[in-house]
Amino acid sequence: MSAPVVSATMGAMNPLIGKLAALMGDEYKKLTSVRKQASFLKDELSAMKALLEKLELMNELDPLAKNWRDHVREMSYDMENCIDDFMRDLGGADAKMGFIKKTAKRLKTLRKRHRIADRMEELKALALQANERRMRYKIDDRINSTTHVIPVDPHLSAIYKDVAGLVGIDGPKKELISWLKNTQEKLKVVAVVGFGGLGKTTLAKQVYDEIGEEFSCKAFVSVSQRPDMT
């Protein structure tokens, strides 16, 4: 099974929750306090994850909701780094190690356990702070109050943008046209990718307008990130 991946909205929440679940497993059954804190964090973060999934479905966010999402996302990266450090520090002792070395290793491990337990308390405090901000900003209420709003697709403004005001579009446009026209294949797909606001939709529309008539069939469709197919 592939490991959970990070995403722009969820951050490292999915892999983080998976690693917390691992800390609750039999391999760490002697670490009672760590397992208890891991269980608390897993429950708290799972609740936050559910809200992040709801935010991911929205095209437009209330500024406070966006601020909270960004804060939790960055927090998930920091927490995942800490959990990775814990798991590395808690590696098992070598069975062939001599008595003196084993004793030194055990004492060192105990110090590590205390340090990890303290760090887990800090992570717990971070989770509680994030949840407190959620309550203080009334994030759930803000989301529920905007779910009935149907925002205008932001791609529409790009479709009708005046190309005269754009800089550097001629080169990419010529390259796209060359790829689409210079081919013997009956079916071809060209993807234009990049961060939001770079002018991808405008570029695609310019290419469509310039060479669309050369094809027997054409269509230009703008689809939001989370479309209602019905």
| pLDDT tens profile 161-216 | 555 555 677 888 888 898 888 777 778 888 888 766 677 888 888 889 889 888 88
Asked whether residue 185 falls in the same domain as residue 137, the answer is: no
What pLDDT is attached to residue 3? 47
178 and 196 in a common domain: yes
Based on the domain organization, do 141 and 32 belong to the same domain?
A: yes
Same domain, 18 and 118: yes
- Say which DSSP state 216 is in: S
Range of the domain at 207: 155-214
pTM as predicted: 0.56
- Please indicate, yes or no, whether residues 137 and 182 belong to a single structural domain of this protein: no
**94 shares a domain with 189:** no
Distances (CA, A) of 213 to 75, 76, 177, 181, 216: 51, 50, 13, 12, 7
In a domain, 1, yes or no: no
Is residue 219 included in any domain, yes or no?
no
Alpha carbon distances (Å) from 13 to 74, 225, 226: 10, 21, 21
Give residue 127's pLDDT: 94
Last residue of a domain, one of 114, 146, 178: 146
Q: Which residues of the chain have pLDDT under 70?
A: 1-8, 90-108, 145-167, 195-197, 224-230
Distance between CA atoms of 39 and 21, rounded to whole angstroms?
7
Q: Is residue 4 part of a domain?
A: no
Residue 35: the pLDDT is 87
**Burial (0-12, 13-18, 19+ Cβ within 10 Å), 146:** middle
Number of domains forming the structure of the chain: 2
- Is there a single domain that holds both residue 29 and residue 142? yes
